[in-house]
Every structure is written in structure tokens, then in C-alpha cells.
Amino acid sequence: MINREWHLLSRPVGRPKPEDFALVETEAPTPGEGQVLVRNAYLSVDPYMRGRMSAAKSYAEPYRLGVAMLGGAVGEVIASNADGIAVGDHVLHHLGWREYAAVDAARAVKVDPEAAPLSAYLGVLGMTGLTAYTGLLRTASFKEGDAVFVSGAAGAVGSQVGQLARLKGASRVIGSAGTDEKVRLLVEEYGFDAAFNYRNGPVAEQLRTAAPDGIDVYFDNVGGEHLEAAIGALNLRGRIAICGMISVYNNTEPAPGPRNLARLIQTRGRIEGFLVGDHYDLQPQFVREVGPWVAAGRLKYRETVVQGIENNLEAFLGVLRGDNTGKMIVKL
């Protein structure tokens, strides 16, 4: 069988360009001892992948040049050399950006396509959902009555943060997004109390209008101007959870830091970065609590689905541009 997979050819400088990548045809792998062969059905593209395209030291190993890139994927097992996973099972794994993958069974998680659509295990019930849950509840120490501000609020993580805060008893939930259509989605479908288009004016001014009594929690997916505005709006003992800073991922020079960090002294505020990989101990609790909300329609989600492995790169570039509403998924 022919297997198509995406390779990184050169490390991007600034915004990634198509010539930095190649879609390569190879022979589908044969599973070794303790492995399963998976025909991928859905692939995930996420902002963190931009960091792995750089050779700079970070929390995740850089992508190697000239070999298939990595990412979340879910698919059907079509051959098995492992106990506990049979042909016909569906599994979640991290050998994405390709059509077929030989996966170590120990690193594959069986999922039930009857309980939820397969694509949901890459988003609302997968890593992005757990990111929202752990960042809000553990890192930001959310408590009932908090006013919560979320940037990138129409994205896969941000949209869940806002809804989780609402379901957990937030006094007010505010979101920012990059289009008026996304702003309407936040308020009309996801139940945010207020939302604004950050392209329509200074973030600090729009946040002041949306949250006149300030905020207790800021969940940051964007960085830059948003982070500075949130520090300015922070209430006494407010908390900021840094999940991502997509506004600076393509910068070739270090971005200037917030100019108002001294305000943290006045507010006794706290800023903390986090990685979902440090919090997988919360996954059983996350599934028990959030799964029923999703099944009952109390926690809503959107997916932007791009068809075909040949469009995997364009889907990723679209995430960096903010083209997606909710989770960006590639369907094979």
C-alpha cells in the first residue's frame, strides 16, 4: 500500500512557507512486535506544532528534517501484532501527518466510536479539552464566582474554557476573537456573557467595557496585547494561566514583554504557564465530568474539517491565521 506523509524539509523563518514542507509517497509500514497498523481517519493540527518546527530547545523535541512529522491522530487498526488491541479497534495516537502508522500498542489508546464521533477524541474529549480543563481548574485555580476572560475564545481550547467556567459558576465570562461572526458564536451558542473582536479596537479598551468590574482569571492563548490588557484588568489576587501565545509564534525577534507587570505587585496577581502533559492525572476526572456534558449538549463544540492528506499543511497554516472555528481537523 502507498502511504503519503508530510515531511519538514527546512526550518521556517517567520511564517512557515509551503516550500518548507513536502508530501512524500512511501510504502505503508509493517507493524513489528507489540505494534498495530493504523489507517488514520482524522489528523489534528495545532498551534504548538509551530514550535516543534524550530531547532530551539523547548518542552518538546523538534521535528526532524526529512522524516514524517508527528501529531494527534485517530484511526482504525487494520493489522495487529499486539495483545489487547484487535483488528477493527479504533485508537488514538501521536503518529499523525500520514495516512498509515505503525504504532506501539503501549502508546495507543482505544476509543469508542459509538460513544462519540472519532474526531471528538482529538478535540473536545481529547488533548484540547483536557488542556482547557486543567488550565482553568488547576493552573488558574478557578472558583465559583470568578470573572473569567479568555483570548482565542472561538478556538478549540478557548471555547471550552469559557463554557467550563460558565458550567462551574463563573460570575461573568468574556471572550475575544478575530471576527464578528466568531464573536456572535461565543455569545449566542457558547453562552459567554460578553465578547469582542480584537481587530475592532484596542484590546484594553474593549476588555474594560466587557468587564467593568475587572477579571479574576485570564486564560491566555494569544499573548501580546491581550496579556497586557488582562494584567491591567486583573482584580486582587487574580490569576493568569498561560496556555499559548499564538500572536508571537512567527516572530523572528523576541516580542516585547507587557509594560505593566508592576501592577502584579498591587493586585498580588499570579502568572503561571502550563503544559497539559504535566496533568494527565486529571484525565479520568475530566472524562467523568465533561463526557456527560458533551453527550447532553450542555458543552457545545465546533470543528473546522479539511478534507484530504494533501491539504494537511494548508489546514495547519490556517490555524496560524485563525481560519478555524473550534478544532481544526483533517479528514482522510
**H and E: helices and strands count for the chain:** 9, 15
Collapsing DSSP states into helix, strand and coil, what is residue 176?
A: strand
- State residue 251's pLDDT score: 64
Residue 172: CB atoms within 10 Å: 21
Across the range 78-92, mean pLDDT stands at: 96
CB 74 within 8 A of CB 42: yes
Confidence at residue 58, expressed as pLDDT on a 0 to 100 scale = 75
Q: Span 146-158, mean pLDDT? A: 95
Report the candidate in 186, 249, 251 with the shortest Cα–Cα distance to residue 222.
Answer: 249
Reported as a single tens digit per residue, the pLDDT across 166-198 is 999 999 999 999 999 999 999 999 999 999 999
Mean pLDDT of the chain: 94
What's the confidence (pLDDT) of residue 295? 87
What is the pLDDT at residue 252? 61
Residue 311: predicted pLDDT: 98
Which pTM does this prediction carry?
0.82
**Structure confidence by residue, pLDDT tens digits, 109-141:** 899 998 889 999 999 998 899 999 999 999 999
Look up residue 24 and give its three cell numbers: 512524500
